[in-house]
Amino acid sequence: MLAGKRAKRVGDMLLREIADVLVKKVRDPRVQGVTLSGIRMSKDLKHARVYYSVLGDDAAVQKALQGLDSAKGFIKREAGIRLDLKYIPEIQFRHDPSLDKGDHLEKIFRKLKSEETSDLT
């Protein structure tokens, strides 16, 4: 049980540091508008899957992934400087479609509301 708690704690710290590095130090325009939505650490703390969201079509998602992958070495180096860990995990970025789904549902709700309003008049 202790290993799971440590993985969560280290994952949360790593996610905060990655987000901070993305906002303050990464100048790649491909990562503009990227939101980090979560992290999943392996139990041995050697691998981290970082989930990101970005509004836009599949091309925007791929462009963001290319920017994140391009900055991966820099992000890992910066996290290593900031965190007091013996080993900095290998980072793998994965798209999290939940932001897109939420945006899609919001559009549907707006459309239904406007149809409902027009039916009442």
For domain 2-120, give the fold.
GMP Synthetase; Chain A, domain 3 (3.30.300)
Answer left, alpha or beta for residue 55, where phi above 0 means left and psi between -120 and 50 means alpha.
beta
Q: What is the pLDDT of residues 40-98, one digit of tens each?
A: 999 999 999 999 998 888 999 999 999 999 999 999 999 989 998 888 999 999 999 87
What gap in Å lies between CA 48 and CA 2, rounded to an integer?
Answer: 18
| Cα–Cα–Cα angle for 44, 70, 92, rounded to 5 degrees | 25
Q: What is the pLDDT of residues 15-43, one digit of tens each?
A: 999 999 999 999 999 999 999 999 999 99
Q: What is the pLDDT of residues 84-108, one digit of tens each?
A: 888 899 999 999 987 777 777 888 8
- List of E strands, 62-117: 90-95
Domain ranges for the chain: 2-120
CA 79 to centroid of chain Cα atoms: 15
What gap in Å lies between CA 26 and CA 70, rounded to an integer?
Answer: 10
The CA-based diameter of the chain, rounded to the nearest angstrom, is: 67
Question: 102 is written with which tokens?
Answer: 């939420």
Q: Are 43 and 7 in contact (CB under 8 A)?
A: yes
